[in-house]
Amino acid sequence: MNLTLFGQLASFALFSYLVYRFLWDPITNMLEERRKRVADGLAAAERGQREQELAEKHAREVLLEAKEQANEIIANAQRRADEIVEGAKDDARIEGERIVSAARSEVDQQINLAREGLRREVVALAIEGAEQVLKRKIDAKTNSEALEKLAAQL
Amino acid sequence: MSGLLPDSSNPVEYIQHHLVNLSIGEGFWAIHLDTLFISWLLGGAIIYAGYRVGRDLSLERPSGMQNILEAVLEFVDDLVRSVLGRGHTMIGTLAMTAFLWVLLMNLMDMIPVDLIPWLVGLFGADHFRAVPTADPQAPLGMALLVFVLMLYYNIRIKGFYQYMMEFLTHPFGIWLFPINFVMKLIEEIAKPLSLGLRLFGNLFAGELGFLLVALLPFWVQPVPGTIWLLFHLLVVVLQAFIFMVLTVMYLALAHMGHEEH
């Protein structure tokens, strides 16, 4: 045991202090900062992943909604088309019926007209026949009233 | 030249010559210049490298040396935490310094035993021991610092009274206090002694092994030399590691009451 021992003791203390000063303290701080940064990075990554999941979910929802809307639109259009076709059919039928009934009434009118004409001719013929038969006995002017009645009865 | 190094044909003289330090002063006042010089050189290298690394630490891209020092620091820190349950700057720093420094000092043993003595012999030094840890002064000096810190922490953490009570009541209870006191005293003193002497003994044996190999004829030396070198390389690293672990253990124990350990 001599002075060397105490020299070594002092050296150990001094070097330890310098190691603390130059290495331990800075490296410990740096490691702490690195730990924090890694933790932050992981947290950010997790947050990003969660956000992505949310966005994907949102996108799925939007897509689903769009599909539903499209289906609805298609169904509406189908219904509308059916309605239009149905309406057109009805219109056509009504129009047809109208045309048919118009034609029919025209026909009736013509028939009536023809009948009227015939009647007049029949009346005229009858009168003429009666005139021929009753040439002298019946005065056309005095008996015209009776003849009109007869004509109306025909 | 023949005056600087002893003839290896006289084994006893050869070995004895290698076991004398380059020193000035006598008795207690002797200073081993070789031990102090080499240990300062290696300590200085650690501090210089530490200063270079610590000056610009890189958070994202640590350099090679920074990686090594970070790994050592984290290893020591983990050890302190596992023993003490929390980090401790003083213990950690001391243990890290001890590990790096002792490792480098031990590795001086890997340099051929006659090379450095021959080199300094050219400058007129008649003796030179290149391995500081093979000189009992160095490891015991370091162990003494650990011992002083042990006492300091024991008294600071537990208080002088509590620490004395440990001396008087541990392990046999208060009625056998003289025996307790002696046993505890031996236990406490044995700590730094075993810490220092274990390191010294191993390195001394290693140096002696190399000296014995060096005494063999040169054509025999390679085989036993290589075997001893490989074996001793393990010992050198292991002893540095053990010194570090025990430093942590002793200083951590000083922080705990004896009911805790």
Residue A135: the pLDDT is: 67
pLDDT higher than threshold 60 for residue A138:
no
CA distance linking residue B193 with residue A54, whole number of Å: 66
Q: Does the residue B2 lie in any domain? A: no
Residue A101 sits at the chain B interface (C-beta within 8 Å): no
For residue A25, the distance in angstroms to the closest alpha carbon of chain B comes to 8
- Is B194 catalytic? The answer is yes
Q: Is B4 contained in some domain?
A: no
The answer to whether B138 touches B35, Cβ cutoff 8 Å, is yes
Site from A1, A15, A28, A35 to mutate, B interface, most B CB atoms within 10 angstroms: A15
Q: Do residues B251 and B94 make contact, with C-beta atoms less than 8 angstroms apart?
A: yes
A12 and B145 within 8 Å at the Cβ level: the answer is yes
The residue ranges of every structural domain in chain A are 36-152
Strand B31-32 and strand B23-24: pairing?
antiparallel
Planar angle of CA B145, B245, B225, nearest 5 degrees = 100
Chain A residues near residue B148 by CB distance under 8 angstroms: 9
Place of tokens 């953490």: B157
Question: What single letter denotes the amino acid at residue B124?
Answer: G
**Residues A2, B31: C-beta atoms closer than 8 Å:** yes
Give the containing element (helix H, strand E) for B101: helix B89-107
Residue of chain B nearest A20, judged by CA positions: B93
Q: For the segment B4-33, what is each residue's pLDDT rounded down to a tens digit?
A: 455 567 888 888 888 888 888 887 888 888
Q: Enumerate the H helices of B175-221 as residue ranges.
A: 177-215
Does B28 contact A12 at a Cβ distance shorter than 8 Å? no
pLDDT digits (tens, 9 = 90+) for B45-95: 999 999 999 888 888 888 888 999 999 999 999 999 999 888 899 999 999
Q: Can you tell me the distance from the alpha carbon of B235 to that of B241, in angstroms, rounded to the nearest whole number?
A: 10
Let me know if B9 is a catalytic residue. no
Give the C-alpha separation, B145 to B132, whole Å. 16
Examine the pLDDT at B258 and tell me if it is beyond 80.
no
Query: Do the Cβ atoms of B218 and B259 come closer than 8 Å?
Result: no
What is residue A41's predicted lDDT score, i.e. its pLDDT?
A: 94
Chain A contacts of B48, Cβ < 8 Å? none
pLDDT tens column, B210-244: 988 888 888 888 899 999 999 999 999 999 999 99
pLDDT in the model for residue B23: 83
CB-CB contact of B140 with A9 (8 Å) = no
Average pLDDT over residues B106-110: 91
Phi and psi angles of residue B73, each rounded to the nearest 5 degrees, phi first: -60, -45
Query: Which pLDDT score is estimated for B115?
Result: 86
Smallest Cβ distance to B46: which of A3, A15, A30? A15
Kindly state the greatest CA–CA separation across chain A: 193
What was the pLDDT predicted at B157? 87
Asked if B89 reaches chain A (Cβ–Cβ under 8 Å), the answer is yes
Q: Which residue has the higher pLDDT, B172 or A85?
A: A85
The token pair at B164 is: 């004395």
Distances (CA, A) of B231 to B17, B172, B221, B237: 25, 43, 15, 11
Q: How many domains does chain B have?
A: 1
B6 found inside a domain: no
Give the Cα separation of B114 and B19 in Å (integer): 12
Classify residue B137: in a domain, yes or no.
Answer: yes
| Residue B193 contacts A, CB cutoff 8 Å | no
Percent of residues, chain A, with pLDDT higher than 70: 94
Q: Residue B53: which domain range? A: 11-260
Q: Does A18 touch chain B (CB under 8 A)?
A: yes
Reply yes or no on whether the pLDDT at A128 is more than 90: no
Q: Which candidate, B115, B114, B142, B124, places its Cα nearest to that of B35?
A: B142
Q: Are A2 and B137 in contact (CB under 8 A)?
A: yes
Residue A23 near chain B (CB below 8 Å): yes
- The reported pLDDT for the residue numbered B3 is 41
Contacts of B55 in chain A (CB under 8 A): 22
CA-to-CA dists, residue A87 to A96, A101, B68, angstroms: 14, 20, 90
Q: Is residue A7 within 8 Å of B30, Cβ to Cβ?
A: no
pLDDT number for residue B1: 34
Tell me, yes or no, whether B5 lies in a domain. no
- Nearest CA to B96 out of B46, B145, B61 is that of B46
Whole-model pTM over 0.80 = no
Helix axes B89-107, B64-84, angle to 10 degrees: 130
Nearest CB neighbour to B140, from listed A5, A20, A30: A5
List, as ranges, residues 20-79 from B with C-beta within 8 Å of A: 21, 23, 25, 27-32, 35-36, 39-40, 43, 46-47, 50-51, 53-55, 57, 59, 66, 69-70, 73-74, 77
pLDDT grade, residue B40 (50/70/90)? very high
**Has the ipTM of the complex gone over 0.90?**
no
Q: Which residue has the tokens 């300590």?
A: B43
Task: Give the DSSP per-residue string, B122-187.
Answer: TTT-S-----GGGSTHHHHHHHHHHHHHHHHHHHHHH-HHHHHHHHHHTTT-GGGHHHHHHHHHHH
Nearest-CA neighbor of A13 among B247, B121, B228? B247
* CA dist A150 → A121, B84, B244 (Å): 13, 145, 153
Residue B1 lies in a domain: no
The C-alpha of B54 sits at a distance from chain A's nearest C-alpha, in angstroms, of: 5
Which pLDDT score is estimated for A141?
64
- DSSP code for A65: H
Q: Is the pLDDT of residue B202 over 90?
A: yes
Which chain B residues are within 8 Å of A9, Cβ to Cβ? 141-142, 144-145, 148
